[in-house]
């Protein structure tokens, strides 16, 4: 796909993509990812479809105001930059985000648990439990630090080690894997043993069927 070089081409590309991307981003934040969000092609198609619908509605409702911009976008940019910027924010960002929020948000008004908050003042909160993070691994795995980790692979092999600041886990859209900075022995019953001499860490691919267990270090036991 060739990148447009004319002002009209750039404007057309923005109009065909940006409103849909904003709509999809707010929708994913509110309701989580759909099955069609798994590939880039389907995401682009959804964004273009939403953008085309919104652009048609914009032309129907604000055609007279948008006609000068479409006729001479570069001239309008030079003559009225603030007006063009305002229109871009409203039509490209605010309206798509507002529609996505009104369509997909499941809100309720509740009183916060803070003791100092006035009882008669309520704030909106999401009632649904949808999560925009793609998987539980993506949500939880990167947050673990200064913990023991035990992994049982699909073939029955066990690996254990200590995770801290030099460890790393990969997340979506990359395949799951983990780097454990210090490897320890592990017995058949799952007990973690001694530190492997001269360990430089171990890398593992976390395939389907693997079991990963994180264990918080016992209080007062900091010798790894």
What is the SS3 assignment for 58? helix
Joined together, the tokens standing for residue 105 give 């948000």
Per-residue pLDDT at 61 = 87
The label of the residue with tokens 């395939």 reads 207
Closest of 94, 86, 15 to residue 51, by C-alpha: 15
Interval 6-15: pLDDT, tens? 666 666 777 7
Instruction: Tell me the per-residue pLDDT of 185-217, one tens digit each, with 9 for 90 and over.
Output: 999 888 899 999 999 999 999 999 999 999 987
Count of C-beta atoms within a 10 Å radius of residue 45? 13
Alpha helices in the chain (DSSP H): 7-31, 40-71, 73-79, 81-88, 95-104, 136-140
Q: Please report, for the chain, the start and end positions of each structural domain, with discontinuous segments joined by +.
A: 7-107, 136-216
Q: Is the pTM of this model over 0.75?
A: no
Task: Provide φ and ψ at 210, rounded to 5°.
Answer: -80, 150
Q: Is the pLDDT of residue 154 over 90?
A: yes
For the stretch 93-124, pLDDT in tens is 899 999 988 887 776 777 776 677 777 777 76
> CB–CB of 196/174 below 8 Å?
no
Which pLDDT band holds residue 132 (cuts at 50, 70, 90)? low
């Amino acid at each position: 796909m060739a990148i447009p070089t004319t002002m009209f081409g750039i404007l057309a590309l923005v109009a065909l993509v940006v409103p849909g991307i904003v709509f999809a981003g707010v929708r994913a934040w509110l309701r989580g990812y759909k099955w069609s969000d798994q590939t880039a092609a389907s995401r682009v198609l959804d964004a273009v479809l939403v953008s085309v619908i919104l652009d048609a509605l914009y032309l129907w409702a604000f055609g007279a105001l948008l006609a000068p911009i479409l006729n001479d976008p570069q001239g309008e940019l030079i003559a009225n930059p603030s007006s063009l910027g305002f229109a871009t924010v409203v039509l490209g960002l605010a309206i798509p985000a507002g529609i996505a929020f009104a369509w997909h948000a499941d809100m309720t008004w509740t009183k916060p648990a803070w003791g100092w908050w006035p009882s008669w003042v309520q704030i909106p909160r999401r009632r649904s439990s949808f999560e925009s993070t793609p998987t539980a691994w993506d949500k939880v795995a990167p947050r673990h630090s200064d913990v023991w980790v035990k992994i049982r692979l699909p073939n029955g092999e066990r690996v254990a080690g200590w995770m801290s600041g030099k460890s790393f886990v990969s997340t979506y859209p990359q395949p799951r894997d983990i780097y454990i900075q210090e490897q320890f022995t592990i017995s058949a019953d799952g007990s973690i043993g001694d530190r492997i001499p001269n360990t430089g860490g171990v890398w593992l691919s976390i395939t389907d069927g693997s079991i990963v267990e994180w264990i918080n270090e016992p209080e007062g036991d900091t010798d790894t």
